[in-house]
Structure formats: structure tokens, C-alpha cells
Amino acid sequence: MNMHGIIAPAHDPVAEARPSALARLLAVARRRRMLMLVVVLPTLLLAGYYYLIAADQYESQAHFLVKSADGPTASPSGFGQLLGLSGMGGSGGEAASVSDYLTSHDAVARLSRDIGLVERFRRPEADVVSRLSTADPTPEKLLTYYERKVSVETDHDTGITKLSVHAFRPDDAYEIIRHLLEMGEQRVNTMNARSYEDAIAASRRQLGEAETALAEVQGEITEYRQTRADVDPEGSGKAQIGLVSGLRANLAAAQAQLETTGAFVSHTSPQYVALSRQVRSLQAQLAAQSGRLAGEGGGERTIAGNLGGYEDLRLRQEFAGKRYEAAAAALAQARERARRQQLYLVRVVEPNMPVKSLFPQRGKIVLTAFFALLLVYSIGWLIAAGVREHAA
């Protein structure tokens, strides 16, 4: 209390020091205003967005590989060989085609139709910056946004493809990646069906041509038998030859007996006359049957003519049968070869249902941005210092 009776305020060193500290801070900010503008302020704004505004995003992952039934179509190298994955490596071309399909307009259109992809990318909890900006996006804009949320990476050493999906809800990420795996399997099945048909098409066509040729020859044989009224021309020919041979043998025996009898009896005797008639009868029968067998000039109505045409048809039938057997064997080989080349999408790691939000990686993003801006500021400061020193 002073002499006037007024109580003086107590001395507060902290209150006196506070304005001075603020003043010093403001002075430092004025002196380092470029540092504040280039580094500190953008970092604070970025941190404010990611820690206060940015929505959580969940990631679901799955691993798969594409391989053929008879083993790998592309040999792994490097680390894949060290791990002994030579029997699991998928074909690079087929794996790349599946990966390309999963990030294509076709995949986006099907996901939009089947599970409402646009609605899943516009959840209420998503912030205005990270969500899909419009409820009716163009296919190109939707694909661009989709490619930021879906990642497909293939390890060319092992052939394993890693599929990652980011979404604002755990079940959204899981549903999208599950449908993508099913679509990949269906794409592989479509490729298998197409390649299988292409692989056996030529063999199947050759088999059809051989079957048609064989049926035509068999039809001609049937018509030939009906025209000649002979079910088995070959058997008939053999029987006719046997008949002619028997007549010749009988005729020779009868002629020998006639000559022997003529040496002992009169040619007018009844016995000799009977033998003579028998010989003439055998000669007539032999001439008739020989004419039927070959005939004059070997006409088509003779046994020889019939047998010649039949043997020609039989030869064509045998050739057509061998051609059919060869075509059938070629088709079986083509089918087996195509079966061994069939592709399969093998799920190495099943998709997971995310529990904890891992994205965005706030600390990593903010620190990376801070050090990048600090590096830019340092380079600019060094350039400016060099200019000032040169000017001085």
C-alpha cells in the first residue's frame, strides 16, 4: 500500500515475460517469414487436413498367381529361385492380362453394376477431398478414381500378384476385393475356353472331314452291293474260283477215265458213250462258269469285274478308315495338349476383412512434406545467399 492508501498491484514476472516471449516469437517469424511461408505454414495446413478432416481408409489385400496345369510357363529368377518357387511361377503374359483386366473399364463397369461401386466411394464418412466428387461420374473419371483405390502389382520373380483395395468402410474394401478375385477367375476361365476351342478346332475339322469321307465310301459300297445283288463280292469271287477249280479237276479226272476206258472197250459201247457225255457236260459247265468268272473282255457283270470294283471301294474304305483313325488320334492329342495348357488362378492369400484403419498414413505424409519443403527452402536460401554474396 502506498502513501495514498491505494494498494499497488503485485509484481508478476510471468505476466511481464509473456509479452516479451510473444514479441520475440513474432520477431523471429518476421525475420524468418520465408521459412514460415514455405515450410511451416504448408506443413501446418497439411497436418490440419490429415489429422482433423481426412477420413480413415481401410485396406484389404489378397495374393494370387496364374499357372498352367503342366507347371510354369515362365521360369522364375532371382529371389524366386532361392525360395524354390519354380513350380509355382505363373505365366507372366496371362498374369499381366488378368491384372490389366482388373484395372480396366470392363472391371469398373461390372463392379458398378454388381455392387454399386460409386456408392461405396461416396460414403457419408468420407471427406470432401478423398471421396468421389460426383454421384454420376463419367467412365473416365470413375476409372481414374478407381485406379487410386485399387492396386495390382505382380512380382515377376515369383509370379505372385498382390491385389490391394482401399475403401472408407472395412466391408466395402472386402466386398470389392472379393468380387475382383471372382472376376479374375472368370476371366481365366474365359481365356481357357477360347484357347481350348482354338487349339482343337483344326483337329476337329480334320476329324469331321475324315468321318464324312469314310461315310461316303461306306455308302458307295452299300450301293455297289445293292446294284450287283451281291452282299459279299469278295466271298462270291472266292466261291466261283473254287467252283471253277473243282470243275477243272472233275473234267481232268473224267477225261483220264475216258481215255483209259477207250483203250479197252469200243467207242460205241454204252460205258464209253456215257463217259463221253460226262466229259462234254463238264466241259460245258466249266466254260459257263469260267465265262461267269472272267468272261470275254472282263465285263463289269462278271465276277472279276464285280470283284475289281469292290476291291477298289474296299481300298478307299481302308484308306478313309486309317485317315479317320489318324484324325481321331490327333484330336485326342490336341485335347490333351490343350488340357495341359489350361490356366488356373490360385489364391495364395485370401482377402482379409480389415479391422484397423491404416490409411492415410498421416505422420509419414506430414513428415515427408515437411522435410521436402525444408529441402526446397534450404536450396532457395543457398541460392539467394550466393546471389547476395556475388552482388556484394
Q: What is the pLDDT of residues 282-336, one digit of tens each?
A: 777 777 666 655 655 444 556 655 666 677 778 888 888 898 898 888 888 888 8
Same domain flag for 352 and 271: no
Q: Which residues contact 384 (CB under 8 A, 6 or more apart)?
A: none
Residue 218 has pLDDT above 90, yes or no: no
- Least confident piece of the model among 207-221, 231-245, 271-285: 231-245
Same domain flag for 90 and 164: yes
User: Quick one: pLDDT at residue 333?
Assistant: 86
User: Quick one: pLDDT at residue 270?
Assistant: 81
Same domain flag for 263 and 234: yes
User: Quick one: pLDDT at residue 13?
Assistant: 52
Q: Which residues contact 159 (CB under 8 A, 6 or more apart)?
A: 65, 66, 67, 72, 74, 76, 80, 85, 88, 89, 90, 91, 92, 95
386 vs 82, higher pLDDT: 386
- Please give the torsion angle defined by the CA atoms of residues 137, 138, 143 and 144, in that order, rounded to the nearest 10 degrees: -80
Structural domain ending residue among the three candidates 306, 338, 370: 338
User: What's the Rg (C-alpha) of the chain?
Assistant: 50
For the residues 64-72, what does the mean pLDDT come to? Answer: 76
User: Quick one: pLDDT at residue 306?
Assistant: 62
Q: Is residue 295 part of a domain?
A: yes
User: Quick one: pLDDT at residue 169?
Assistant: 95
249 vs 29, higher pLDDT: 249
Q: Is residue 330 part of a domain?
A: yes
For the residues 63-75, what does the mean pLDDT come to? Answer: 70
Residue 55 has pLDDT above 80, yes or no: yes
For the residues 90-100, what does the mean pLDDT come to? Answer: 75
Q: Is residue 22 part of a domain?
A: no
Distance from C-alpha of 180 to C-alpha of 175, rounded to nearest angstrom: 9
The SS3 of residue 159 is coil
Angle between helix 170-228 and helix 303-340 axes, rounded to 10 deg: 170
pTM above 0.85, yes or no: no
For the residues 25-29, what does the mean pLDDT come to? Answer: 63
Place of cell 490360385: 346
Same domain flag for 236 and 140: no
Q: Is residue 277 part of a domain?
A: yes
List strands edge to edge, sheet with 160-167.
150-154, 160-167, 58-68, 343-349
- Three-state SS letters, 84-119: CCCCCCCCHHHHHHHHHHHCCHHHHHHHHHHHCHHH
Percent of the chain with pLDDT over 70: 76
Residue 66 in contact with residue 159, Cβ under 8 Å?
yes
Q: Is residue 325 part of a domain?
A: yes
- Least confident piece of the model among 60-69, 147-156, 311-320: 311-320
Same domain flag for 99 and 211: no
For the residues 133-140, what does the mean pLDDT come to? Answer: 92
Same domain flag for 217 and 312: yes
Q: Grid coordinates in use for 105?
A: 473399364
For the stretch 7-23, pLDDT in tens is 445 555 545 545 566 67
Q: Would the CA dihedral through 366, 123, 121, 66 be positive or negative?
A: positive
Q: Is residue 138 part of a domain?
A: yes
User: Quick one: pLDDT at residue 29?
Assistant: 61
pLDDT bin (cut points 50, 70, 90) of residue 84 is very low
291 vs 209, higher pLDDT: 209
Same domain flag for 137 and 218: no
DSSP 232-255: -HHHHHHHHHHHHHHHHHHHHHHH
Average pLDDT, the chain: 80
Same domain flag for 328 and 224: yes
Structural domain ending residue among the three candidates 338, 354, 372: 338
Structural domain ending residue among the three candidates 294, 322, 338: 338
| Strand-pair category, 343-349 with 160-167 | unpaired
User: Quick one: pLDDT at residue 82?
Assistant: 43
Domain of 305 in residue numbering reads as 203-338
Same domain flag for 218 and 270: yes
Same domain flag for 334 and 347: no
User: Quick one: pLDDT at residue 261?
Assistant: 77
Percent of the chain with pLDDT over 90: 33
Distance from C-alpha of 228 to C-alpha of 237, rounded to nearest angstrom: 13
Same domain flag for 291 and 230: yes
User: Quick one: pLDDT at residue 44?
Assistant: 92
Q: Is residue 249 part of a domain?
A: yes
Place of cell 527452402: 377
- Least confident piece of the model among 112-116, 193-197, 242-246: 242-246
Nearest to 154 by CA among 106, 100, 111: 100
Distance from C-alpha of 324 to C-alpha of 295, rounded to nearest angstrom: 38
For the stretch 223-266, pLDDT in tens is 777 776 655 666 666 666 777 778 778 878 878 887 887 777 77
- Which region holds residue 60: left if phi is over 0, alpha if psi is between -120 and 50, else beta? beta
Number of domains, the chain: 2
Same domain flag for 235 and 309: yes
Q: Is residue 4 part of a domain?
A: no
